[in-house]
Chain A
Amino acid sequence: MSDATMLAADGTPLKRSLARALRRQKLRALGLIAPLLIFVLITFIVPIASMLFRSVENQIVENTLPMTVEALADWDPNAGKTPSEAVYEALYFDMFLAAEAKRHTRLGTRLNYEQTGVSSLFRQSGRALDDIGKETQKPLEELNNAWKDGETWHGIFNATDNADTALLDLQRKRVAALTGSPASDEVNFAPDATLYNLLPKTTRAYTAWAVYTATQQGRDPATRDPWEAVATALALDLRTADLSAYSGPGADLLAEAQTADLPVPAMATAFADMDEDWAGATVWKTIQTHSSTYTSGYFLNAVDAQKTPDGVAWQPDDKQILLKLFGRTIWMSLLITFSCIALGYPIAWLLANLPMRQANLLLILVLLPFWTSLLVRTSAWKVMLQQQGVINDVLVWIGLVGDGDRLIMINNQFGTIVAMTHILLPFMILPMYSVMQTIPPSYLRAAKSLGATNWTAFWRVYFPQSVPGIGAGSILVFILSIGYYITPEIVGGTKGVFISNRIAYHISSSLNWGLAAALGTILLAAVLVLYWAYDKIVGIDNVKLG
């Protein structure tokens, strides 16, 4: 029955044998490509993806003020009232831990992007927090000296048999999220489940302190005195706790403290005393609006809008600069592209119509700048365009301009356009040249012999055929110029810079990385769309070098 199927030399059916050979060939090709593909994915694609992620990521609010965000969820921002005492309490404990870890200022900086003034508010409040705690810690320690001793606290809250590991893990996560470094080291403490039921705030505060002390500072919580915040938590708990049935360690100490009626600070008042902003609704609205884990806020900022409790709104007029900058980037890139077309077209035409030998010689003049270091060309333009530079000197020498009124050609848009036209001109000439080389000169002659004038022959016959070259060169130059950074930075001053300079500014100076990532994402999207068009028109495979 096998006579119907063809067999290969080793007896397997030919079809299967061929399929196997093809599969092996595919695998070998993939095997050759795989190392590079993995390399590019890790060193390039993942970083770009991480930038995209940064542009929407907003965990900092939740990581720094986890309990506040939770407590604030029920608050109605439009009721015209400040949040409840519970929210202020949560804020106190969150801020205390954050201030100890010196992370509250970072959150202040983050929220300052949305509402000016939050940064200084957070910094001030971080400093003033200790005073609230001292008000309860002092009377407690005066009541009984044992409270001064770290071992007393550890003895009370450390579990002997029924530990609450869920609470411990929760606090580990909280500290790790806050500090950004792992909090999984051994703590030498486990919260007691019974006490967590009776004194929840104190146990939580003490556990957070113990985790922070052990994992971030490498100290043993058993021998150290806890923060003021733990004493405050104890005072808060003791107001309502029913300790009559409790007989564990430190029962008498706790009972004594409860009867002593420790002073309990009113958190809302205390925060309002610190800074009256806390007594207003604005800062709370800001925290609530920006507390989600992912946000569109950076993208809104990137187009001069912002997220407010009432929805999306424009930024105040004095902060609206980015849309203008996007507009300027596009406008200047267009100008640069047109200057490149104007200067490149005659050169490409000349190169395509000269004899090969002369054309190759002149081509070197085009390729030399193409191969010269970008910084060399930029520094050359800085030297040429300066007020005491070569061009001004020549103009003064000729007598076109007086020595007193030398032209200002640098640190403005003119400088950027001239320097970038020079830098990008080869990218325009080379594609135009390769297209024009394929246009047969006999077409022009034919047109002329049919009676066309020089101009008609050029405009009706030659020019339409050279349009693909103009298109290819223009898209290339435009794409390159909207992402340029170095040249505008050096010769552009303040008026001649692009959106990329703003990205660099946010990365290295203002440290608003989210906004930088959002601006980068928008720019990337624009470039990819243009490249897609380029691929459709010219084909990426036709990219030629030198």
Chain B
Amino acid sequence: MGLPPYATLGQRIWYYSFRVICGLIFFFLVAPIVVVMPLSFNAQDFFTFTPEMLRLDPEGYSLKHYRDFFTNPQWQLALKNSLIIAPLATIISVSLGTLAAIGLSQSHVPFKGTIMAILISPMIVPLIISATGMFFFYAQLGNWLEGTLGLDKGFVGYVKVVLAHAVLGIPFVIITVTATLVGFDHSLTRAAANMGAGPVTTFFRVQMPLILPGVISGGLFAFITSFDEVVVVLFVGSASQKTLPWQMFIGLREQISPTILAVATILVVISIALLTTVELLRRRSERLRGLSPG
């Protein structure tokens, strides 16, 4: 891919201009995310760099938007809700999804294609359509839970959002766990059974440790799906279940407050951490399978 020494002038120009074009496209990909970070330390309520910031004057920077995020009750409610809803939804999708993925990886599964299509469908159907369908159905479900079972209104609100988010996360768990199971050596479970281990012991002591990287990255995908989801929660939830994305969406649509940039920066840091985790897990899983990590 390097430039050969005999390259003509035209080839040289093309070679370097191609590099510049690629650089610009990478800049396009990363710039918006990078621009947000310094702006979140703005001492003013502006969405652009002030002259003080450009002079790198400490006066121009402050943590006040972060302070607002951590003290404002609206943002704190949103943060709390996100931290309640996303882990619960993740637990449901990971536990049910892992079981089903193991079932799907067996050699003789009747109607495998249909079942797979149904389980993947939450990822295929556009969110706005899922949200519309859920809006109609979950309202009735909520009324039934409140009316017939006499459950508390706030609790039912959380149940609806958690169920909705859990089902949105399931395809990701199914895809990642099935992918890990492709490399799983089934003679290991037979060996365990041969030595007297029951199905439960075999699962937890033999199979689970080997597919754990896939399960964890599936779980991370499910978590980020719920943590970042706004359309369904807008339609299914009520104001007391508003999550961080909800609060950001409202803030962006009505009047944009610089606190959003502070939240955005925090979320970018979280996603970098998650990205690193998934990448490390992928390499570990490939190493375990004897593939080169590249």
Contacts and interface: CB of A to CB of B under 8 A. Distances in A.
Given A29-B109, A343-B25, A543-B175, A51 B115 contact: no
Contacts of B61: none
B11 A35 contact: no
Contacts of A386: 47
Interface in A361-406: 362, 364-369, 371-384, 386, 388-390, 393
B167 A489 contact: no
B230 to A, nearest CB: 6
Contacts of B256: 379, 382
A346 B100 contact: no
A486 B230 contact: yes
Contacts of A504: 128, 131, 231, 235
Given A368-B275, A373-B264, A389-B48, A36 B32 contact: no
Interface residues of A, number: 91
Contacts of A49: 133
A377 B33 contact: yes
Contacts of A513: 136
Given A32-B102, A37-B119, A47-B136, A346 B274 contact: no
A371 B128 contact: no
Given A29-B109, A51-B129, A40 B29 contact: no
A50 B135 CA distance: 10
Of the four ranges (under 10, 10 to 19, 20 to 34, 35 or more), the interface on chain B belongs to 35 or more
A414 interface: no
Contacts of A354: 1
Interface stretch (B65-73, B149-157, B188-196, B246-254): B246-254
B175 A26 contact: no
Contacts of B107: 25
Given A372-B33, A380-B32, A485-B231, A362 B163 contact: no
Contacts of B131: 504
Interface in B104-121: 104, 106-110, 115-121
A423 to B, nearest CB: 10
B274 A371 contact: yes
A46 interface: yes
A502 B279 CA distance: 39
Chief secondary structure at chain A's binding surface: helix
A50 B133 contact: yes
Contact of B110 (A26, A45, A379): A26
B149 to A, nearest CB: 16
Contacts of A383: 32, 35-36, 39, 47-48, 261
Interface in A175-202: none
B267 A369 contact: no
A373 B32 CA distance: 12
Contact of A350 (B22, B96, B163, B260): B22
A375 B26 contact: no
A21 to B, nearest CB: 10
B175 A490 contact: no
Given A29-B106, A30-B103, A37 B115 contact: yes
Nearest to A354: B1
A28 interface: yes
4 interchain residue pairs of minimum CB distance: A483-B126, A32-B103, A380-B32, A47-B137
25 contacts: A28-B103, A36-B170, A39-B92, A39-B170, A40-B119, A44-B122, A50-B136, A51-B133, A368-B29, A369-B32, A371-B274, A372-B271, A373-B267, A373-B268, A380-B33, A380-B36, A380-B264, A384-B31, A389-B48, A422-B29, A454-B14, A485-B128, A517-B132, A523-B128, A524-B129
Given A376-B33, A377-B33, 12 more contacts: A33-B115, A354-B1, A355-B1, A362-B26, A368-B29, A371-B224, A372-B33, A383-B47, A383-B48, A422-B28, A483-B129, A507-B135
